């Protein structure tokens, strides 16, 4: 089994899944990538969570590894 490529505190740049689906309602901001911080790594279930800021506050996205 491989280890997570990131550690808590690492910065990550990505396009949130909600922006792909067009469901966030931000119009022109849907093509924007965000920079977030890895705040949790769950080795046993093989996922990590990234926190990023939006105009309405904090948002989170989880990724499998």
Alpha-carbon span 3 to 52, nearest angstrom: 23
What pLDDT shows up at residue 31?
Answer: 67
What pLDDT shows up at residue 62?
Answer: 97
Per DSSP, the three-state class of 22 is coil
What pLDDT shows up at residue 8?
Answer: 98
What pLDDT shows up at residue 38?
Answer: 98
Tell me the CA end-to-end span of the chain in Å, nearest whole number.
10
* Residue 16 C-alpha from the chain's centroid: 6
Alpha-carbon span 39 to 8, nearest angstrom: 5
Over its length of 65 residues, how does the chain's per-residue pLDDT go in tens digits?
689 999 999 999 999 887 776 655 655 656 689 999 999 999 999 999 999 998 889 999 999 99
């Amino acid at each position: 089994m491989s280890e997570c490529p990131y550690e808590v505190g690492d910065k990550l740049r990505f396009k949130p899944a909600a922006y792909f689906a067009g469901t966030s309602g931000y119009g022109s901001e849907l093509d924007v990538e965000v920079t977030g911080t890895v705040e949790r790594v769950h080795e046993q279930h093989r996922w990590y969570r990234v926190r990023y800021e939006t105009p309405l506050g904090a948002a989170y996205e989880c990724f499998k590894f």
